[in-house]
Every structure is written in structure tokens, then in C-alpha cells.
Structure 1
Amino acid sequence: MEKLPSHQLGKNDPQVSAIGFGAMAQGEDFISIPGTTKIKNLEEYIEAVHIHLTDQQVKQIRQVCENANVVGERYSQQFSDNLFTDSAPIKI
């Protein structure tokens, strides 16, 4: 998000880090479920429900994401080996 600072969106840094912009733009029936181990962070995530982005802000965010230079894989090889496997058969 360096190319689109939070102040350009009218949001402060904790709010920006607390929300999944892409998820918010998908509609009211689509939510992201962030993980956290700290109550303070959970409270920030909950407050993010009050953030509303304009169409222009969503467009800016999508443009930055589409032009981002992504380096490396999402998961290490160790974890990738287990991502697309069959689950154990159901015992009846």
C-alpha cells in the first residue's frame, strides 16, 4: 500500500491495516475474517465495519494491487505440498 498512502483514502493507519479493502468492495454480504491474538487488534477490525470507500477509492486500490510487483510464492513448498490433497475418507 506504499503507492496509495492511507491518508489519501481519508483513513488512519490502524484502520487501513485492519480491513481487507478488496473484501469490503465485494458487497455487504461478503466479509473478511482476520485472525488476531490481541483484543486491541480485534477491536480495530470490528470498527472497520464503519469504514465506507467510494468507488474512486476502490478503483485506486485495485489499480495499485494489479500493478504490484509480487515476489515469491504465497506459501513455502513445505506447506504447498498439503494444500491440494484429498481428505481422508469419511468413516460411516
Structure 2
Amino acid sequence: MAKRKGCTPSQLALAWVHHQGDDVCPIPGTTKIENLNENIKALSVKLTPEDMAELESIASGDAVKGDRYADTVPTYKNSDTPPLSSWKPV
């Protein structure tokens, strides 16, 4: 679909989030100005209700599932953070 829309897959993903409603705003992270400029271009990607339905059908199927990170990448799931109740004010 990104090819059909004349955008990058990342721009399509940002556009999809942007089209979720007026109370939703994508916040992409980047440290490079050229990536920021590419992200801003996502605002010009227009998605029709049919496009949204197609993207939803892809996302709800087996094509998109699983963990974001490999098991070897440390995340909150394997951290040793003590329970909040044990924290003492400084």
C-alpha cells in the first residue's frame, strides 16, 4: 500500500496512527533531522476508509503478531526493578 500511496512504509504507519482520530497523535522518535522531515511528510498521506479497512484487516490477521524485541534484548519483562512499595523517598 505504501507504494500505491507514494510513501514509505514508515510514513504509511504514521499516517495510519494519525487517522485513528482527533485524540490520537503519533510521536515518532528520531535523532536525525532528515528522518524528522520524512516523518512530517506522513501528514500528507491521505487514507480513505477503504485504505483503513485494508490496513486493519492486515493488522488483525496473522501477518502482524509477536513480541517487539527478540528474547535476547533486555526489556521491562526481564528487569529486576524492586516493587514501588519498597522505594524510600530521598
TM-score (norm 1): 0.66
C-alpha displacement at 1:70, in angstroms? 4.4
Structure 2 stretches of 5 or more lacking a match?
none
Q: 1:12 aligns with which of 7, 24, 37?
A: 7
Number of residue-to-residue matches in the alignment: 85
Structure 1 segments, 4+ long, off by >6 Å, are: none
- Which structure has more RCO (C-alpha within 8 Å, separation ≥ 6)? 1
Structure 1 stretches of 5 or more lacking a match?
none
Residue identity in the other structure for 2:19: A
Aligned Cα RMSD in Å? Answer: 3.0
Q: 2:56 aligns with which of 59, 62, 85?
A: 62
Report the identity percentage: 26
Q: Tell me how far apart the structure 2 counterparts of residues 26 and 90 of structure 1 sit (CA, whole Å).
A: 41
Q: Deviations over 1:6-58 (max 9, x none)?
A: 233x2322xx3234244122112311111112211101111222222110000
TM-score (norm 2): 0.67
Looking at CA atoms only, which structure, 1 or 2, has the larger radius of gyration? 2
